[in-house]
Amino acid sequence: MDVNWVQLILNGFQSGAIYTLVALGLTLIFSIMYVVNFAHGEMYMLGGFAGYFIFYQFFINKLGLPLTLGYIICFIIVAIILGLFGFLLEKAIFRPFRGDLLGGLLISVGLGEILMMGAALCFGPETKGVPPAFAGKVSVLSASLSNQRLAVIFGGGLVMLGLYLFLVRTKAGLAMRAIAQDKEAAESLGINYGFTSSLGFAIGCALAGVAGLLVVPATYIDPFVGSGYLMKAFIIIIIGGMGSLTGCILGGFMVGFIESFSSFFINIQTGTIILFVLVIIFLVLRPRGLFGRAEV
Amino acid sequence: MQKFKNIQFGLYFSIIFFILPLIFRSNYSKYTLVWFCIYCMLAVSLRFIMLVGAVNFAHAGFMGIGAYVSAVLMMRLGLSFWITFILGALVSAIFAAFFGIITLRLKGAYFFLVSFALVEIIRVFFSSYFVDIFGGVNGLIGVPPPNGILWLHFDAGSLGLLYLIGVITVLVLFSVYLFEKSYWGKVFNCINESDNLAQSIGINILKYKVIVFIIGCFIAGVAGSLYGCTNGVITPDDFTYELSLFLLVCVVLGGMENILGTVLSVSLLVVIRELFRSAAYFEPIIWGLSLILILLFAPRGLFGLGTNIFWIAKSTFRSLRKKEINAEG
């Protein structure tokens, strides 16, 4: 069998970047609020639909903007819209459940269902495609990669870099890290927990939305894609460790590579089962994941 | 006294249940009652697992294992229902034991995450592996009803099958109730309140959690094989995360305090579900919305609702009086 290794590795990088973005938002929310957001996959889905409606239907078809420019503007708009949406959601629904694992879990399950079926009712259940914003192809060694897929890898990398700089260089990022370390001590030093957790939730949602927008020109979008990405994000978090950003990035690319290789050599269903077996192995041997803190 | 009242109430409830099919004789009402029984078993067993603080999203998956194993044994090997339904539940319980020993020792959110992944894995397994045994995406068609004993017949849609499922449900609910009221129930309560404290006084948390999980999944397996017999068709899509969500809404609405709360909420939700049958598309929205509303406004469930309204009335009354006093002063 003629195996195109470079192609497989590039595919792994592409899906890994997306999974990492989704999982980063999830782990950020978890480390600040101690809430596992089951509606996170739906944020990804909403980002994809925003890409379809704002970028494709409005910018390209109505306004006639150039593809690349429209895409970049849309990128910023999606991040802002989903950020605001997440901020309001946190204030309206999640506020009583900060720090309450079970309550937050149940309420986000309910929210996810509403968003998913709401999207199916408003936008229609059929799959929608968006034309690639970056036309053309590049060939890397023996592999060929469309510019759009390259943009997914680079865009994902840029967003991750931005998140890192935000967390390390800004005051709000410092507040988030402080709360993740020790909530009571951070609050006693004057950090506004309510605002910080809303902001963290907003950033998490924006990350998932941006991931959706990045992928949509390369693949397709429908209202039911969310749960698949959510499951991958869970697997990444377990492998990488709850609340660890480094572990999240490493786990994300690991999952991306495993999926890329197993779907080529065996099939995609077996890839999912391999991931699950990996999770079980991790749970037995190293329950806190690669970089997670041991829970007290 | 309370215990006696509960048993009395349960007795009335089951008597009403057994008289109902004699009044409403249509096939439709029989099927509705059968669904009610199966959901009751599932919701009560899910609540039983949640007593030790583990939310099992894979409950529908364990039900699916029971349903598939029992149906495959009946259809491919021609075994009798009375053996296969125990075997199906046993396989489900054994699988639960393996899964539980690994995942239940973890603290925090891991168990929920893994069980969410597991239900999807079970669906993928039944739909794409061993297609000649499990029937792939189309599932198994023509699952036989239980074979009759003496003059009793349990054909699909017959009164016999309904009463059989009813009797099994009552037995399951009663034994879960007794289990909960025993010494074990107190241990579960202790683990749920604070597992560190429970561990410090010498309770082996993992042992209790795994046992509860196994029992819960055994019941789910029983419900699954009964589901297969009633429906005649099982497909991998019957046992997805959607069903787990419905069960979760039942448990949360019923509250954790009392097993009767769960039964009441199941009967309420089954009626709602039948009323909105035509708007099946909206169903997840209704469940999602009700889950959010219950959690925000009546976190203790149906039984808590009464006290909750009382509390709201009291607090508004108090604040009104405070305003009056302020205005006077």
- b/e per residue B218-254 (b: at least 16 CB within 10 A): bbbbbbbbbbbbbbeebbbebbbbbbbbbbbbbbbbb
B26 SS3 class: coil
Tell me if residue B141 falls in helix, strand or coil. Answer: strand
User: Per the CB < 8 Å rule, is A114 touching B112?
Assistant: no
Contact A260, A12 (CB under 8 A): yes
Mean pLDDT comparison of A27-36, A196-205, A261-270, B46-55, highest-scoring range: A196-205
Instruction: Name the more confident of A8 and A85.
Output: A85
Q: Say if B80 is an interface residue toward chain A (CB within 8 Å).
A: no
Q: What count of residues does chain B have?
A: 329
- Residue A134 pLDDT > 60: yes
* Cβ of residue B161 closer than 8 Å to a chain A Cβ: no
Is the pTM above the cut of 0.80? yes
Q: Which spans in chain B are helix H?
A: 2-23, 27-50, 59-77, 81-103, 110-128, 131-134, 159-181, 183-193, 195-200, 205-231, 241-254, 259-275, 283-297, 301-328
Inform me whether the pLDDT recorded for B315 exceeds 70.
no
Q: CA-CA distance, B157 to B182, in Å (whole number)? A: 37
Arithmetic mean of pLDDT, B137-143: 84
Could you count the other beta carbons within 10 Å of the beta carbon of residue A164?
Answer: 15
pLDDT digits over A22-34, tens only? Answer: 999 999 998 888 8
Least CA distance to B245: which residue of chain A?
A: A109
| A276:B117 CB<8 A | yes
Instruction: Give the separation between CA B272 and CA B48, rounded to whole angstroms.
Output: 24
Confidence of residue B310 (pLDDT cuts 50, 70, 90): low
Per residue in A157-200, pLDDT (tens digit) is 999 999 999 999 999 999 998 998 888 899 999 999 999 999 99
The pLDDT of residue A127 is above 80: yes
Q: Which tokens hold the place of A9?
A: 């590795």
Per-domain boundaries in chain A: 5-224
Out of A5-19, B261-275, B313-327, which region has the weakest mean confidence (pLDDT)? Answer: B313-327
pLDDT digits (tens, 9 = 90+) for A97-125: 888 877 888 888 889 989 988 898 888 88
Residue range B255-280: average pLDDT? 81
This model of the complex carries an ipTM of: 0.80
Does A27 contact B at CB distance below 8 Å? no
DSSP, collapsed to helix, strand or coil, labels residue B285 as: helix
Tell which wins on pLDDT, B106 or B78.
Answer: B78
Per-residue pLDDT for B276 more than 70?
Answer: yes
User: Which residues of chain B neighbour A287 with C-beta distances below 8 Å?
Assistant: 105-106, 110
Residue A143's pLDDT is 75
A88-92, A291-295, B17-21, B196-200 — most confident range: A88-92
